[in-house]
């Protein structure tokens, strides 16, 4: 008989049959959410129920593993995570939570230069910049466009993945000059920060950031692999065993294939979603996706079940590219809807008919409305195919649209780690939005009460992939500036389902993963406390003890250090 395990066997070792018992077990099966024991044989779950039932189902010669009162969960699943790009935040120069002032940023950049971290050829890329920094472009230029950095191209990338800033050297390389900006339409200029004389100040958002990035060399193959390996182990340390990668370009897909061929893609499943341009001919875009599906068919643990679309941008000042039903107070503009509604409906309908899932970045209330309209058009044309078309972020929603998620069978993949009262949700947003929109920020509980399926998501490296931090945030909505609409607090069990079966549903993998049930993949996570019942303030401190994929241990916490009594 083994105690606690998997330290009783080597990491990656596959025991023939095991019974885990003496644990608080959450199955994520709504009809039978808890069990006394779980039985495995090879890479599959054989039974979950009482110890007697499980012992009988597993049969003779099984190993019995005493989990000593800890808590066993299904493998956790992130339904919107940029895993490989997130790996660069571990191997590159990401500020994390270490920078809140310009002086701290200056010190961080100096350390990166010293350690040659974040270099892409001769361009220094610093990531994870807090959004409040973008209102300080004069200070950024004083520090990084003169002196030591005058002849060094430097890119700062925002923590939201949509914004950035380049020093004058990088702007020149990218062709972002006063002459360039002056030739743009008023709408196009909104993607670039500028003074009253149209002189660029370095800030860029969405299309503008793409232009800045166009002169930054792509990571090397080895950098991709290094980042991928780091990301996989990091996510496993969080108890994550499968995920949906929503921006899977050729480099990302090739890296997943390379990792799989090396036996290093130690996940149950990656659902990769390449990006599609909804303004292009739908038939051509879908043909490209089908070609990619054939090209990567058979890669272990990798599927391409659909594609990603951006419906809009982000809401925070000064970006303000999220599409709203009422204009921003400071500009009179309503953000950017990134597709023609009729063509978008045509694309979603055609994709639905071909069996492809559509995963849409929809942040503003107008983007949410128009995306639901397109899904409704597909349902009317094709009937209910059951495909889990998904809207991610849903920072704002018209209350009239909230019941439509359930009615249309659309999933809301929510990053509720963001649902806090902070500078990013108050100072950078509230002064600029109509109150009728602002009061429906991250309307998670309203969606839940209206019957919507909510899946859990981090958007890492935008924010931490720590599931228990996200559940804490969803349940409390606390932040440094108070509580963000307590009416939208989520119950804990709903969040546990969000990060298990509902995320598996968003990947179209619920038959294989997402719960502890006979016949499913033996993906399990052992944690140090009863996450179903502990006080919410203790939930944040939950520690993963080990993570198992297909019956094999892929990560375990370091053993406690044993001190010499002498």
pLDDT digits (tens, 9 = 90+) for 477-498: 999 999 999 999 999 999 999 9
Give the pLDDT confidence score for residue 559 in this predicted structure. 72
**Tokens in use for 293?**
């599906």
Domain 2-75+520-556, classified CATH 2.30.40.10, yes or no: yes
Q: Are 399 and 452 a contacting pair, CB within 8 Å?
A: no
CA torsion 297-243-550-293 (nearest 10°) is: -10
This prediction's pTM = 0.94
* Angle, vertex CA 285, rays to CA 281 and CA 290, nearest 5: 145
Which CATH number describes the domain made up of 221-506?
3.20.20.140
- Please, which pLDDT band fits residue 6 given cuts at 50, 70 and 90? low
d(CA 334, CA 327): 4
Sign (positive/negative) of CA torsion 455, 461, 462, 466? Answer: positive
Q: Which two tokens stand for residue 468?
A: 């228990």
432, 320 Cβ separation under 8 angstroms:
yes
Give dist(CA 464, CA 502) in Å, integer. 20
pLDDT of residue 9: 44
Q: Is 415 in contact with 393 (CB distance < 8 Å)?
A: yes
Query: Comparing 506 with 6, which gets the higher pLDDT?
Result: 506
Encoded tokens for 556: 């375990």
Of 34, 74, 26, residue with least CA distance to 548: 74
H or E stretch including 173? Answer: helix 168-174
pLDDT(566) > 90: no
What residues does each domain of the chain span? 2-75+520-556, 84-213, 221-506
Whether residue 438 contacts residue 429, with contact meaning beta carbons closer than 8 Å, is answered with yes
Gap between the terminal Cα atoms of the chain: 31
Tell me: pLDDT of 13 over 80: no
pLDDT tier at 355, thresholds 50, 70, 90: very high
Of 337, 342, 384, the C-alpha closest to 363 is 337
Q: Is the pLDDT of residue 124 over 60?
A: yes
Annotate 275-292 with b (16+ C-beta within 10 A) or e (fewer). bbebeeebeebbeebeeb
pLDDT class of 10 with cuts at 50, 70, 90: very low
14 pLDDT tier (thresholds 50, 70, 90):
very low
- DSSP annotation string for 66-85: E-TT-EEEEPEEESS--HHH
How confident is residue 560, by pLDDT bands cut at 50, 70 and 90? low
Specify burial of residue 332 (Cβ count, 10 A radius: 0-12, 13-18, 19+): exposed
Whether 349 shows a pLDDT value over 50: the answer reads yes
pLDDT band, very low/low/confident/very high, at 5 (cuts 50, 70, 90) = low
> Rounded to whole angstroms, how far apart are CA atoms 89 and 346?
37
Q: What are 395-416's pLDDT values in tens digits?
A: 999 999 999 999 999 999 999 9
Sign of CA dihedral 368, 357, 374, 289: positive
pLDDT attached to residue 16: 80
Q: Which of these, 6, 467, 542, lies nearest to 242 by C-alpha position?
A: 467
Question: What is the C-alpha R_g of the chain?
Answer: 24
Rounded Cα–Cα distance for residues 363 and 80 (Å): 14
Checking if the pLDDT of 24 tops 70, the result is yes
CB 235 within 8 A of CB 83: yes
| CA-CA-CA-CA torsion sign (107, 113, 118, 122) | positive
* Choice among 2-11, 217-226, 521-530 with the minimum mean pLDDT: 2-11
CA distance 504 to 78: 9
CATH architecture of 84-213: Roll (3.10)
DSSP codes, 211-257 = HHHTTSPPPPHHHHHHHHHHHHHHHHHTTEEEEEES---HHHHHHHH
Q: How confident is the model at residue 561 (pLDDT cuts 50, 70, 90)?
A: low
User: Given this model, what pLDDT does residue 318 score?
Assistant: 95
pLDDT at 277: 95
Q: What is the pLDDT of residue 97?
A: 86
Summarize the confidence of residues 214-229 as an average pLDDT: 96
Q: Is 217 helix (H, G, I), strand (E, B) or coil?
A: coil
CA distance 279 to 375: 17
What number is the average pLDDT over the span 356-385?
Answer: 99
- Are β-strands 17-26 and 34-41 bridged in parallel, bridged antiparallel, or unpaired? antiparallel
For residue 262, count CB atoms less than 10 angstroms from its CB and return exposed for 0-12, middle for 13-18, buried for 19 or more: exposed
Residue 482: Cβ within 10 Å count: 12
């Amino acid at each position: 008989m083994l105690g606690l395990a998997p330290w009783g066997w080597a990491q990656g070792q596959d025991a023939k049959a095991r019974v885990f018992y003496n644990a608080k077990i959450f199955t994520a099966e709504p009809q039978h959410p808890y069990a006394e024991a779980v039985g495995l044989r090879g890479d599959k779950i054989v039974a979950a129920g009482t110890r007697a039932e499980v012992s009988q189902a597993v049969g003779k010669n099984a190993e019995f593993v005493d989990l000593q009162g800890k808590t066993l969960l299904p493998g956790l699943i992130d339904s919107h995570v940029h895993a490989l790009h997130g790996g660069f935040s571990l191997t590159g120069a990401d500020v994390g939570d270490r920078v809140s002032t310009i002086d701290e940023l200056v010190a961080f950049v100096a350390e990166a230069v010293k350690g040659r971290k974040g270099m892409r050829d001769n361009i220094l890329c610093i990531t994870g910049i807090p959004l409040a920094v973008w209102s300080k472009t004069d200070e950024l230029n004083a520090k990084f466009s003169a002196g030591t950095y005058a002849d060094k191209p430097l890119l700062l990338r925002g923590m939201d993945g949509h914004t950035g800033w380049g020093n004058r050297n990088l702007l020149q390389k990218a062709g972002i000059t006063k002459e360039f900006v002056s030739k743009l339409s008023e709408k196009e200029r909104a993607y670039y920060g500028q003074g009253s004389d149209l002189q660029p100040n370095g800030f860029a958002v969405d299309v503008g950031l793409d232009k800045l990035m166009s002169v930054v060399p792509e990571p090397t193959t080895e950098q991709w692999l290094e980042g991928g390996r780091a990301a996989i182990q990091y996510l496993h340390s969080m108890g994550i065993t499968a995920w949906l990668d929503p921006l899977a370009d050729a480099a990302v897909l090739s890296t997943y294939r390379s990792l799989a061929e090396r036996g290093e893609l130690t996940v149950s499943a990656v659902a990769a979603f390449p990006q599609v341009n909804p303004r292009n001919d739908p038939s051509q875009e879908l043909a490209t996706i089908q070609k990619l599906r054939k090209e990567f068919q058979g890669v272990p643990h990798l599927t391409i079940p659909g594609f990603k679309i951006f419906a809009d941008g982000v809401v925070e000042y000064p970006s303000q590219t999220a599409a709203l039903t009422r204009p921003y107070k400071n500009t009179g503009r309503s953000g950017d809807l990134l597709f023609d509604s009729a063509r978008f409906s045509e694309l979603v309908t055609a994709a639905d008919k071909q069996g492809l899932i559509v995963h849409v970045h929809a942040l503003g209330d107008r983007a949410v409305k128009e995306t639901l309209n397109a899904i409704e058009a597909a349902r009317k044309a094709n009937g209910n195919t059951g495909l889990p078309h998904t809207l991610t972020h849903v920072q704002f929603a018209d209350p009239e649209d909230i019941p439509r998620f359930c009615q249309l069978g659309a999933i809301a993949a929510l990053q509720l780690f963001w649902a806090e009262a902070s500078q990013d949700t108050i100072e950078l947003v509230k002064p600029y939005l109509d109150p009728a929109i602002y009061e429906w920020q991250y309307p998670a509980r309203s969606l839940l009460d209206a019957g919507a399926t909510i899946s859990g998501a981090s958007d890492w490296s935008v924010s931490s992939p720590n599931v228990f931090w996200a559940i804490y945030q969803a349940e409390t909505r606390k932040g440094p500036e108070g509580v963000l609409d307590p009416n939208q607090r989520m119950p804990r069990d709903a969040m546990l389902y969000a990060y298990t079966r509902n995320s598996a549903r968003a990947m179209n993998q619920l038959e294989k993963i997402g719960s502890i049930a006979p016949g499913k993949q033996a993906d399990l996570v052992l944690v140090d406390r009863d996450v179903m019942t502990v006080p919410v303030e203790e939930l944040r401190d939950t520690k993963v003890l080990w993570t198992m994929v297909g019956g094999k241990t892929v990560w375990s916490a370091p053993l406690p250090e044993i001190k010499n009594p002498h």
